[in-house]
Structure 1
Amino acid sequence: MVSPRHVVNGLRFAWTILTLWYERQIFVRSVGRCVWPNPGLNTPKAATVTHVLIVADPQIIDHRSYPDRAPVLTCITQLLVDLNLRRSWLSALRLRPDIVVFLGDMMDGGRYAMSNAEYEQYYARFQSIFSLDPHIPAYFIPGNHDTGKVTTLGKSNKFSSKAKRRYISHFGPLNSQVTISNHTFFFIDAPSLAEEAVFGPSPGGTTEFVKGYYTQLHERDPLLLFTHIPLWRSEGTSCGPNREHGTIRQGSGFGYQNTLGKPSSDLLLQTLQPSLIFSGDDHDYCEVSHSFTIAGQPRQAREVTVKSLSMVMNVRKPGFQLLSLVDPHLTQEISYSESLCLMPDQLGIYLSTYIPFLILSLLAIVIANAFHRRGHARSRRRDQWATNNSSLPRPTSAHKSSDPDVYSWTFILMGQRRRLMLNTKYFKQWLGRSNENRGFVAGVLYDIRDVAWFPLFIFFWLAWWTFR
């Protein structure tokens, strides 16, 4: 019969392996499957390849994210989500990107009214999670959760009138452009563009910024457009095989808009003539091709909607996008290439691995203790019967063996022989090794403790290592 101690030791070992694998190694393995794509395969070997890491909708949560949850559950959720984001981010940095681009919605409650001190703490938390070498440039575009009071996306006195100013002071300009490896990176404020489509362009707004690019006189390098809100597409347009749920549909609600309107999308396509488009907001992956016409000539621009990096954005496998660039002047082929990198299904780990194995562990401990107590009771009854029916008198004295709980060491110190003794009786009781005299419930509880303490120690140690 297998004793509870054997069950405890086996479960302790199994939980330790599970914890090490699912709390660290699975992230390393996931990112190990991701490789930077190779643009311009016939490009000279001496050409420099620039690697760009694109992150969408990390949307770090705060106490406003789940208003119906109890504060304790909200704190636990925030801790687990932050831990998952940190692990995914540290794993992504193993790929050694040259540049990082965030596609908006950095903080879930960034648009809400709050004190300056609270906003600074919120922003510091974002920086702590997404810590980055200062030598690696990072670019940001605003999302609807960042810049607040956007008229067409819904008014609320909960939104702060300071949201845009706070965004600019912490993340940078709302609209900007930069040249990287002779590619133009064009960053736009998509929520403001949606507002201007209804109420007309505003001075210094996104519409003016887009049209201003068209008047610039320079040789056109490939242009990559970065927008938080995806561009318009026909209803039912397929998003490709990498999408988890359905497709992107037109529509809007309080505080969000699924796609830009068709006039705004046409303005971006015909004015900027982008070679490639990256968008966010939808949280799931989507890949579509937009057709437009320039001077009677048909053109196409491919749009990739990047997956959210967060585990609580209604996708089972979060992800990010990898973009590689080579100088277009050095190749006759396409000078850019991108690929999707998927991270572990954290919710699946909790729901499909930890919880079922926890139930099996509890059942194993209960069953092992039940059979052990039953067998121990039978053994005592047999000993009692043998004692009562023995014809031999009980010995009046017996040789006393050495105590197995006492260990002693003899050594020479300062010319004298000395002995060090250690009684492990209470230590063994604390570990639950001497539970013969405990009841069934106490034995189960002690065994649960013995199984749990070591994997929990590893979990918290890995969490500390991630948060440090």
Structure 2
Amino acid sequence: MSYAYTRGSGSGAFPPRSSSLRNHSVEPPSLLVRLRDSLPPRVQLWIAELWTRAASSVSAAQRRTRQRGGYKQEAWRAVKRLFSIANALILLWLFMLWWGERTVFRDSVQNCVWDGWERWPQNAAPHHVAFVADPQLVDPHTYPGRPWPLSTLTVMYTDQYLRRAYSLIQTTLKPDSLFFLGDLFDGGREWATVKSSSPEKRYKRYGDKFWQKEYNRFGKIFFGHWNDGGSHSAVNPRGRKLVASLPGNHDLGFGNGIQEPVHNRYRAYFGSGNRVDVVGNHTFVSVDTVSLSAMDQPDPDTGSSGMGSGDGEDRPNARIWMDSENFLNGVKDKKARAEREELRALRNQSEGTIFRPGVYDLSENTIYQKDQSEAPGFPTILLTHVPLYRKPATPCGPLRERYPPSSSDPYPEEDEQNALKIQGGYQYQNVLTQTISNDLITKVGPEIAHIYSGDDHDYCEIAHREFSGSPKEITVKSLSWAMGVRRPGFLLTSLWNPIDIDTGKPIGTRSSPTLQNRLCLLPDQLSVFIQYAYLFVFTIVVLLVRSIARTFHPPETEPTLPLSEPRHHYPQSHHASSKSASSSTSSSTHSSPGASEARLASRGSSANLSSRQLSPQRHDTFRPARHAYIVDAADDDDGGRWKGKVVGQPFRRRQDGFQGTIRPVMDNFVRSVKYVAGVVGVWYIYLVWTW
């Protein structure tokens, strides 16, 4: 049975089964082709041009490779380019910059690892402390007359130095506690508040917003990198501790020069400069001595000096020094309370004093059970920004950088040059007065084991024999390389005071030392810059000599373009033709250099010349062209871009004079400098940007 389909197109008509509209004998276009066809015509044209250029470049490279002796010869030329003078200078710069931006910092901090200098028993677990003094962030107060961009570069490089050194302290040494010893800023006392302004006219335009900016800058460098080594402490389950509340004279001012709004602002952001901390079974007492010093200075309003004869508000400068003096009057109780709390924490006990529940009047006694435990009396460490008073000419020891001892065998008992100068000036004083120093030692307690101070920027170590126990004092170096010392530094202190946590008494004899110190020196940044300058001069000299040598003695190479001109000789019988040819040759011989270069640069002309050379009817002799030379890619820093091109004229003393001599030298020199500077600049930016 068969069925017939109508040819109509109605809804009831079904067409016979047939193939799709696509021609199955032709492969469908690929995805890339379809994507290309979907692009706008201009984009398609641009892609086609790029493809054509790339294909042409590959073909030209292959053709040059065949003409120059094959791939082995091309590989040899590549090796020669790799070992050129310019590349050797680049390699030297890479090592120099890595040394100056990485190695010197890491080696300096690595020399201070705890295991390398601690001398504790084998089973000891000391508490590690780092002291940082006088970072003094560079600001308009530091170098007020320094112009831009030198001022900006100074800020950038000093911040970079501080950040690198501080970060390495955290990652390499990872101290359990870190104390700043004041002068966090350089011009902090000058920046105005809502209620105050700088006494110096040139700084009045810097307000509170500028101080906020400087605070954020400080936090980015120091607070932001505090946990680079982690937040866990190996000896303290409560974690690592950072204390930056001790002010310096550049933060607040000194004595009666302190403005109360400036002082309040600093305390609001960093905390009180008077505090007690128990660290490693040692009691650290920090005292705001720049404010306390106002107690021994004349009042600018009344002219009276000392504490005066009255009480309270009648005392001169009381608004400045009263907080510090009140702290000292009760510091022994604060020490005892802090030590008892530390013992309870070690025993994992709760608060010792129990209070009665309920609501009571302020005058009522709310203590139900008082803590009867005794304070263990840990060794006390005093922290002050300004060093304590000492006799004039008291030597600071051999580690002082700017003024080393006048003799070393033996060290003198008095050394004016090596000592701290007993002097003062606007908003500073090199040492505390004898009155303030005695007040400190008397009230903090006779059990002072050590004193740490800052302010001077250089290292100083003395023993205060005038006090009981002859406590030692170390003035810590500045961490910044812009503070007058070539080798900045910081101080490491290892604390080891094992105690019985039940009684709080020390294990072993109390006479044995409980702390050890180590001065750590950082790189000499100025010396690093000087080494860069030496290498820069060396690079310039080498590239200049190289350019002169290549100009006077260009490298010999086999040309890829014909560098000769034909001279045609015809038989004497053809007089007219010979005359014409002779005239043509003469014209060619005396043509301008530009015309000769145009002929040499033309591939078509070289092809015609080759056909004339092979003609058996002409007797040709050749002589070299006088106005062109070829630069060999094997000795060219630009990767052979000039291979086979007429790039200039050889040295012609008589025709071009001095200008014709110096131009090719300078062209070659500038090209080489750009090549070396481009690679080295990228490497230097990478080193600076990434750390």
Deviations 1:379-429 (A, max 9, x none): 79xxxxx9589999999328xxxxxxxxxxxxxxxxxxxxxxxxxx9xx98
Deviations 1:207-256 (A, max 9, x none): 33223224666442100011111111122211111111223111011121
User: What is the letter of the counterpart of residue 180 of structure 2?
Assistant: F
**Equivalents in 1 of 2:420, 2:388: separation in Å?**
10
Distance 1:62 1:36, change over 3 A: same
Q: Which residue of 2 aligns with 1:281?
A: 455
Of 92-101 and 195-204, more deviation after overlay is shown by: 195-204
Q: Which residue of 2 aligns with 1:186?
A: 285
User: Superposed, which structure 2 residues align to 1:295-374 within 5 Å?
Assistant: 298-328=468-498, 329-332=506-509, 333-351=512-530, 353-374=531-552
**Equivalents in 1 of 2:325, 2:640: separation in Å?**
71
Per-residue deviation, 1:87 = 1.0
Contact persistence 1:269–1:292 (CA under 8 A): no
User: Superposed, which structure 2 residues align to 1:21-420 within 5 Å?
Assistant: 21-36=99-114, 41-42=120-121, 45=123, 47-93=124-170, 94-112=172-190, 113=192, 114-130=206-222, 131=224, 132-133=226-227, 135-140=239-244, 141-148=246-253, 150-152=254-256, 155=257, 161-198=260-297, 199-200=305-306, 202=318, 204-214=322-332, 218-246=375-403, 247-272=419-444, 273=446, 274-293=448-467, 298-328=468-498, 329-332=506-509, 333-351=512-530, 353-376=531-554, 396-397=609-610
Aligned residues: 421
- Secondary structure of residue in 2 paired with 1:299: coil
Q: Which residue of 1 aligns with 2:60?
A: none
Deviations 1:154-206 (A, max 9, x none): x4xxx865321121111110211111122110101121122112244537432
- Relative to its length, the structure with more strand (as a share) is 1
Distance 1:32 1:319, change over 3 A: same
Per-residue deviation, 1:270 = 3.2
Distance 1:104 1:21, change over 3 A: same
- Secondary structure of residue in 2 paired with 1:439: helix
User: What is the letter of the counterpart of residue 284 of structure 2?
Assistant: F
- Secondary structure of residue in 2 paired with 1:303: strand
**Equivalents in 2 of 1:169, 1:48: separation in Å?**
36
**Equivalents in 2 of 1:357, 1:39: separation in Å?**
39
User: Max radius of gyration: which structure?
Assistant: 2
Distance 1:95 1:40, change over 3 A: closer
Contact persistence 1:4–1:369 (CA under 8 A): no
Per-residue deviation, 1:4 = 12
**Equivalents in 2 of 1:67, 1:250: separation in Å?**
27
Contact persistence 1:53–1:97 (CA under 8 A): yes
Contact persistence 2:129–2:178 (CA under 8 A): yes
Distance 1:431 1:97, change over 3 A: farther
- Structure 2 unaligned blocks of 5 or more: 1-79, 193-205, 232-238, 298-304, 308-317, 337-374, 404-418, 499-505, 558-562, 570-584, 586-605, 612-632, 649-662
- Secondary structure of residue in 1 paired with 2:675: helix
**Equivalents in 1 of 2:642, 2:242: separation in Å?**
58
Distance 1:128 1:183, change over 3 A: same
Of 308-317 and 132-141, more deviation after overlay is shown by: 132-141
**Equivalents in 2 of 1:208, 1:122: separation in Å?**
31
User: What is the letter of the counterpart of residue 546 of structure 2?
Assistant: A
Distance 1:389 1:50, change over 3 A: same
Deviations 1:344-381 (A, max 9, x none): 10111112x111111111111111111111112x979x
**Equivalents in 2 of 1:251, 1:390: separation in Å?**
94
Identical aligned residues as a percent: 32
Per-residue deviation, 1:56 = 0.4
User: What is the letter of the counterpart of residue 192 of structure 1?
Assistant: S
Contact persistence 1:20–1:458 (CA under 8 A): no
Q: Which residue of 2 aligns with 1:458?
A: 683
User: What is the letter of the counterpart of residue 119 of structure 1?
Assistant: W
- Secondary structure of residue in 2 paired with 1:145: helix
RCO higher in structure (CA 8 A, sep ≥6): 1
Q: Which residue of 2 aligns with 1:413?
A: none
Contact persistence 1:56–1:320 (CA under 8 A): yes
Deviations 1:316-353 (A, max 9, x none): 111101111123423432111111111110111112x1
Q: Which residue of 1 aligns with 2:68?
A: none
- Secondary structure of residue in 2 paired with 1:250: coil
Q: CA RMSD in A?
A: 3.2
Contact persistence 1:232–1:260 (CA under 8 A): yes
User: What is the letter of the counterpart of residue 92 of structure 1?
Assistant: I
Of 113-122 and 215-224, more deviation after overlay is shown by: 215-224
- Secondary structure of residue in 2 paired with 1:330: coil
Distance 1:433 1:124, change over 3 A: farther
Task: Please report the TM-score for the alignment, with normalisation by the length of structure 2.
Answer: 0.56
Per-residue deviation, 1:74 = 0.6
**Equivalents in 1 of 2:252, 2:262: separation in Å?**
5
User: What is the letter of the counterpart of residue 126 of structure 1?
Assistant: F
1:12 partnered with 2:90: yes
**Equivalents in 1 of 2:491, 2:100: separation in Å?**
23
Distance 1:173 1:139, change over 3 A: same
Per-residue deviation, 1:111 = 1.2
Contact persistence 1:321–1:339 (CA under 8 A): yes
User: What is the letter of the counterpart of residue 522 of structure 2?
Assistant: M
User: What is the letter of the counterpart of residue 253 of structure 1?
Assistant: G
Of 330-339 and 253-262, more deviation after overlay is shown by: 330-339
**Equivalents in 1 of 2:455, 2:481: separation in Å?**
14
- Secondary structure of residue in 2 paired with 1:348: helix
- Secondary structure of residue in 1 paired with 2:249: coil
Deviations 1:66-97 (A, max 9, x none): 11111321111100111111111111112111
